[in-house]
Amino acid sequence: MESGIPLLGDNFPEMEVVTTHGTLNLPSDMAGKWFVLFSHPADYTPVCTTEFVAFQKRYAEFKAMNCELIGLSIDQVFSHIKWAEWIKENLDVEIEFPIIADDMGKVAAKLGMVHPGKGTNTVRAVFIADDKGKLRIMFYYPQELGRNMDEILRAVKGMQTSDANGVAIPAGWPNNELIGESVIIPPANNVKTAKERTGATDCYDWWFCHKKI
């Protein structure tokens, strides 16, 4: 079985998966859309339940960015369906995105989601792919730590902003301590541009300039 972690910029590995919404072919069924595929250790566990509620409460924000959510764990589809029903009945939150039933562990192995010392459960991995099926961001969290969905939202928005404007995104954007909601202009790559930028009001130096978009 092919195993390992793909690299940033790689094509998202092709796979056919069984989900709570039926069979999906990734990444082809997501063509033209960004998507976030995230794994959780197991259904009916407290931290995972808080994460699914948090993802669902932000689902409309992801969709507004042309981005879909896809969950995954090494559980059968029947378990996913019943767990989603439990969340609806007990927490009044309806999970609207599909959940992959990777009960044979093939997807987890292909994406490097099972780590040493954690048994057969998947860690809390996050894969963000763009609308061309390219893998752009990966996050890995231990089972003990729940994820921050606002950071995942920020990551998608930041990459889309970078792609659309040819800029880099500062720390904590759009609330950076130095430049607020501004973005970073690529450094000057010739002497003429460097001299033009030196002393400019929107530059700390020729290699550190920013702008609002």
- Cβ–Cβ < 8 Å for 37, 129: yes
What contacts 185, CB < 8 A, 6 or more positions away?
167, 209, 210, 211
Q: Quote the CA–CA distance of 74 and 105 in Å, as a whole number.
A: 6
**Sheet-wide strand order for 208-211:** 183-185, 208-211, 203-205
67 is catalytic: no
Structure-token pair, residue 145:
């730590």
In DSSP terms, 209 is beta-bridged to 185, 203
Which residue in the list 48, 67, 203, 209 is annotated as catalytic?
48
Q: How far apart are the first and last CA of the chain?
A: 46
Q: What is the DSSP string of 32-82?
A: TSEEEEEE-S-SS-HHHHHHHHHHHHTHHHHHHTTEEEEEEESS-HHHHHH
Which residues carry out catalysis? 48
